[in-house]
Amino acid sequence: MKSKQSGFTLVEIAIVLVIVGLLLGGVLKGQELITSGKAKALYADKSAIQTAYNAYVDRYRAIPGDDIAASGRFTGLACGVAGAGASAVNSGAGLGCSNGNGNGALTNAPQITNGANVGWTVTLPATQAFASDGNNEMFKMYQHLRAAQLMKTDGNSIFSQPINAAGGFTVVLSGVLYAGQMPSLLYLTQSAVPGNIAGAMDSANDDGFTNLGGIRAAANGNGAAPNTVTVGTPYGAGAVNVSTNLL
């Protein structure tokens, strides 16, 4: 007698392949949704600081960080310092907020500009490295916004830069970070953002290139003639520092 051999039919194999394809498609779609969600959250971080800044100006007719009357507006408990500018520890007691100099700008905010370097990057400071800098009005800005309850406090420092949706820091600059970027009074830079998330944010809100448009990243165009650069550089897989116009 001949033994009966069993195996998969073409129909069964086709069904298995369809199921595998659907599973893979679901995984890829899920990853795409995660990336898109983080990109939206990243841009929302920027928008939240923008909204808080404008709300402060609207409410107090002063620039947060530059506000010369901040120590009189908020209690020591709200300011979370041991003394006006003496400490960045959120101790919940003190004399009041650190006043700005009232000159209408964020004095001593990091001024970072790009020369003619292609692929130029900037290393942003660790949160605590500048947390106790009472002279830098960028850090006073965060203190004033938090004292006005327009921003949440990250960690134990009311001065510290917020942590962005990608886990890096958010720094406000008074100088353009990348040559050729659109003119602005203030720029907001989010550090340590994975390239796929930064690219998704750029694509959704600008042009999707690191070296063109209003949103820029680590790889840049020709600093000597930035407005003549027409070839866009796509985002890679590595982490980048993403800069957008704040005002």
Q: What is the pLDDT of residues 176-229, one digit of tens each?
A: 777 777 778 888 888 888 999 999 999 999 999 888 888 888 754 444 445 566
Q: Are residues 135 and 180 in the same domain?
A: no
What are the distances in angstroms from CA 26 to CA 3, 12, 19? 42, 21, 10
9, part of any domain: no
Q: Are residues 44 and 68 in the same domain?
A: yes
Which among 134, 137, 135, 163 has a CA at the least distance from the CA of 151?
163
Query: Is there a contact between 71 and 99 (Cβ–Cβ < 8 Å)?
Result: yes
Q: What is the mean pLDDT of residues 20-34?
A: 69
| pLDDT tier, 82 (very low <50, low <70, confident <90, very high otherwise) | very low
How far is it, in rounded angstroms, from Cα 73 to Cα 149? 12
Report residue 66 CA to chain centroid gap. Answer: 21
Q: Is the pLDDT of residue 90 over 60?
A: no
Q: Are residues 65 and 184 in the same domain?
A: no
Q: Are residues 216 and 115 in the same domain?
A: yes
The maximal CA–CA distance of the chain, rounded, in angstroms, is 102
Looking at the whole model, is its pTM more than 0.85? no
Q: Are residues 81 and 182 in the same domain?
A: no
**pLDDT at site 87:** 43
**pLDDT at site 93:** 47
Q: Are residues 120 and 143 in the same domain?
A: no
* Beta strands in 87-238, from DSSP E residues, in sequence order: 170-173, 187-194
Q: What is the pLDDT of residues 107-120, one digit of tens each?
A: 766 544 443 333 33
- β-strands 239-245, 170-173: how paired? unpaired
**pLDDT at site 81:** 55
Could you give the percent of the chain with pLDDT greater than 90? Answer: 19
Q: Are residues 149 and 224 in the same domain?
A: no
**pLDDT at site 76:** 76
Could you give the percent of the chain with pLDDT greater than 70? Answer: 68
**pLDDT at site 35:** 84
Q: What is the mean pLDDT of residues 2-8?
A: 61
Phi-psi region of 181 (alpha: psi -120 to 50; beta: other; left: phi over 0): beta
User: Residue 220's domain spans which residues?
Assistant: 109-125+161-247
Which among 85, 104, 116, 83 has a CA at the least distance from the CA of 186?
104
Structural domains in the chain (count) = 2
